[in-house]
Every structure is written in C-alpha cells, then in structure tokens.
C-alpha cells in the first residue's frame, strides 16, 4: 500500500536561485547518488565489508540543508547513514571511500568505517550506529557555540549545528530531552528528521502515536516545519530560514523532511517488506530528476552542462576508488592510537 502522506507542494516560483546556486545543489546530489551506487557495487563484489547503509533517494535533504550552512564552520551531526552527509559537509570523496575500505587515509583513519564517519577539519561530528545517539552530541555542540559567544564574549562563535536523524529516533528519550533543552536555552541548532517512512522494517505509522513528527516541536514552543524531502529547493528554503533564525539567537527549528530510501535498510537487507507499488510511487519522485527538470525548464542550465557534471563526478569517484584501493592499512603499531585525545 502507498503511504499517502506528503508535504505541502512547494511553490518553486516563490524563490529564485542563481545558476551557480543551482549547479552547487545539483553537483552535490549527483555526487551523493553516484558515490552510493559505487559503494553498492563494491559491497556486492566483496570489496567492502560490514554494515553499509546507503542514502539513495534522500539526497535533497543532505544537499538542501548542508548547502544552506557555512562549510567548514558550522557543525553537522549524522547517523549510521552518513556517507552523503560527509560529502555534503566537504569531506573529500577519496577520504570517505578510504574510510569505507578501512584504510589509514580515511577521514577517521580507518577506525570508523561506514557508520562512524568523523572529520574535525570539516566539523563533521560523526556518524552514530545507535539510533538517536547523535542528538545529544549535536545539542552539546550547539550549546558550546552559544556559551562561547554569550558567556565568553566571542562574537565569532555564531556557528549553527545541523543534526540529522530518522523517524525511528523520534520515539527515543534523547529526542524529547534535547528538544526541551534546546528550546529552553535557545540553542543554535536545526533538528532534521529524515522521515523515510521506515525504521528498518517497521512502518513509521505503526510505531508512533503522532505520525506528523514536526508537530512534536510545538509541545516545547519550538518552530516545527514539514517539507517535501524529495524537493531540494523546498528543503534548502526551509533550512535557510532555520539557519538565519539560529544564527540570530532565535533558537532551534525542527524540520521534518518527507523522503524515501530507494534501497533496503542496509545492503544486507533483501527489502521484501515494502510494497512494490509504494516503491514505484517514490521512485517516480526522484529528487535529482525533479531538480534536473527545474533547472532546464527555467533555462538556468542546459542538458550539456549537466552531463558534463555527471561525467566530472564519475571521474572523481573512480579516482576516489583508486585512492582507497591503493591506500595502506592502518599499521599494527597504531593499534592503541586515537583511543584517547592527543595533544
């Protein structure tokens, strides 16, 4: 059965983007899609191991939110579905791929793997294997920004934190505790619910007494908005407003992005629980195809330019794969390194 709930239609004519802005969003979404496709290929060829959770179909959420922020300055906190968040945050594709191969050149030095991406350089606070685990970490990051600015008088400490998590996390205690704290202290944070309808094999509507997650923000006096997570312009517009509010000291926002993962929960999931009809419905709303249509119909770019970007990204991913394949394994002499913080 198709789950009918969709966000209000976003009027793309209500905002104007430049060609440069459009190409940034398009390139980032294509990078996420093709990178994940290559991960699937490597996994099924036995070149990549462990649990690997792909992001296909949800690219508009990562690109729409993170590209509304300051790269390498604002903070991003992810989940176990973290590869694309890392890419959007500016972590080089070669470092992300090397991490997936467990290599020393990976962004987490081969210690994190698929579910624990981290990059201090790019203010990526990590991926987290446990559901809702990143929410208090992100809330803490937002608190330190506010504390450094207001208590320590650092006027440059105006960073905003984006915290991503799924619909399944919204029934966990950390979610409610952190929303309460963030509102009480007016923390500069955006909580982004990537509602892809399924928490592993549990349909969202069967697992919560209030399926419309954005409404849960209202219990705390927080701004809560619902957006079409398959429309990058809708997501980006909502994110820009949330970022502006947070940076101005007006407190947090909860954004519920209605989206859909095109693959199973992980690459080990045969994906037999979701109806074919439901999947076909969401496949038809592919965010990259939707944005491609917008860019060409509004004469911002032509197909030739988009094809050139596609080819550029394919080459980038091939280079990233070669880099990861030829990179060294972490040395046994570093077995205990990074267990504790280093000076």
- How does pLDDT run across 287-317, given as a tens digit for each residue? 999 999 999 999 999 999 999 999 999 999 9
Give pLDDT tens digits for 156-183. Answer: 999 999 999 999 999 999 999 999 999 9
Over 70: is that where the pLDDT of 6 sits? no
Angle at 281 between CA 279 and CA 283, to 5 degrees: 65
Q: What is the pLDDT of residue 1?
A: 46
Instruction: Please give the CATH superfamily to which domain 15-323 belongs.
Output: Thiamin diphosphate (ThDP)-binding fold, Pyr/PP domains (3.40.50.970)
Q: What is the pLDDT of residue 338?
A: 84
Q: What is the pLDDT of residue 9?
A: 67
Over 80: is that where the pLDDT of 239 sits? yes
Cα separation, 259 vs 253, in Å, equals: 18
Average pLDDT over residues 214-224: 96
Q: What is the pLDDT of residue 25?
A: 98
Number of neighbours of residue 311 by Cβ within 10 angstroms = 10
Q: What is the pLDDT of residue 341?
A: 83
Q: What is the pLDDT of residue 326?
A: 98
Which class for 46: exposed (0-12), middle (13-18), buried (19 or more C-beta within 10 A)?
exposed
Over 90: is that where the pLDDT of 189 sits? yes
Q: What percent of the chain stands above pLDDT 90?
A: 91
Q: What is the pLDDT of residue 2?
A: 45
Over 60: is that where the pLDDT of 187 sits? yes
Q: What confidence category does residue 4 fall into, taking pLDDT thresholds of 50, 70 and 90? A: low
Average pLDDT over residues 124-134: 97
Q: What is the pLDDT of residue 343?
A: 72
Average pLDDT over residues 20-34: 98
Over 60: is that where the pLDDT of 247 sits? yes
Using CA atoms, how far residue 281 sits from 4, 28, 260, 269, in Å, is 10, 24, 10, 20
Q: What is the pLDDT of residue 8?
A: 66
The residue ranges of every structural domain in the chain are 15-323
Average pLDDT over residues 35-58: 96
Mean pLDDT (the chain) is 95
In three-state form (DSSP H/G/I as H, E/B as E, the rest C), the secondary structure along the chain is CCCCCCCCCCCHHHCCCCHHHHHHHHHHHHHHHHHHHHHHHHHHCCCCCCCCCCCCCCHHHHHHHHCCCCCCCCEEECCCCCHHHHHHCCCCHHHHHHHHCCCCCCCCCCCCCCCCCCECCCCECCCCCCCCCHHHHHHHHHHHHHHHHHCCCCCCCCCCEEEEEEHHHHHCHHHHHHHHHHHHCCCCEEEEEEECCEECCEEHHHHCCCCCHHHHHHHHCCEEEEEECCCHHHHHHHHHHHHHHHHCCCCCEEEEEECCCCCCCCCCCCCCCCCHHHHHHHHCCCHHHHHHHHHHHCCCCCHHHHHHHHHHHHHHHHHHHHHHHHCCCCCHHHCCCCCCCCC
Q: What confidence category does residue 55 fall into, taking pLDDT thresholds of 50, 70 and 90? A: very high
Reading the block at residue 155, the tokens are: 């006027």
The pTM of this model reads: 0.95
């Amino acid at each position: 059965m198709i789950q009918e709930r969709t966000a209000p239609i976003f009027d793309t004519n209500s905002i104007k983007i430049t060609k440069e802005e459009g190409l940034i969003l398009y390139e980032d979404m294509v990078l996420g899609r093709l990178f994940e496709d290559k991960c699937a290929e490597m996994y099924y060829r036995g070149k990549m191991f462990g649990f690997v959770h792909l992001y296909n179909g949800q690219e508009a959420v990562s690109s729409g939110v993170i590209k509304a922020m300051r790269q390498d300055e604002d903070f991003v906190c992810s989940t176990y579905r973290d590869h694309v968040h890392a890419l959007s945050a500016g972590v080089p594709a070669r470092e992300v791929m090397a991490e997936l191969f467990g290599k020393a050149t990976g962004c987490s030095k081969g210690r994190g793997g698929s579910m624990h991406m981290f990059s201090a350089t790019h203010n990526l606070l990590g991926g987290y294997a446990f559901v809702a685990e990143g929410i208090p970490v992100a809330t803490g990051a937002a608190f330190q920004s506010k504390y450094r600015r207001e208590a320590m008088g650092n006027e440059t400490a105006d960073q905003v934190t984006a915290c991503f998590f799924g619909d399944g996390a919204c029934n966990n205690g950390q979610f409610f505790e952190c929303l309460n704290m963030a509102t009480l202290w007016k923390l500069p944070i955006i909580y982004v619910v990537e509602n892809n309808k399924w928490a592993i094999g549990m349909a969202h509507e069967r697992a919560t007494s209030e399926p419309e997650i954005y409404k849960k923000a209202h219990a705390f006096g927080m701004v809560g908005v619902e957006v079409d997570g398959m429309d990058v312009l809708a997501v980006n517009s909502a994110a820009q407003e949330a970022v502006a509010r947070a940076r101005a000291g007006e407190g947090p926002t909860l954004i519920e992005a209605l989206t859909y993962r095109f693959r199973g929960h992980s690459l080990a999931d045969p994906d037999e629980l979701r109806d074919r009809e439901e999947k076909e419905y969401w496949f038809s709303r592919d965010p990259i195809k939707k944005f491609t249509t917008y860019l060409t119909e509004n004469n911002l770019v032509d197909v030739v330019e988009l094809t050139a970007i596609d080819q550029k990204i394919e080459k980038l991913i091939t280079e990233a794969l070669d880099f990861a394949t030829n990179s060294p394994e972490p040395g046994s002499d570093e077995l205990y390194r990074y267990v504790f913080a280093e000076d």
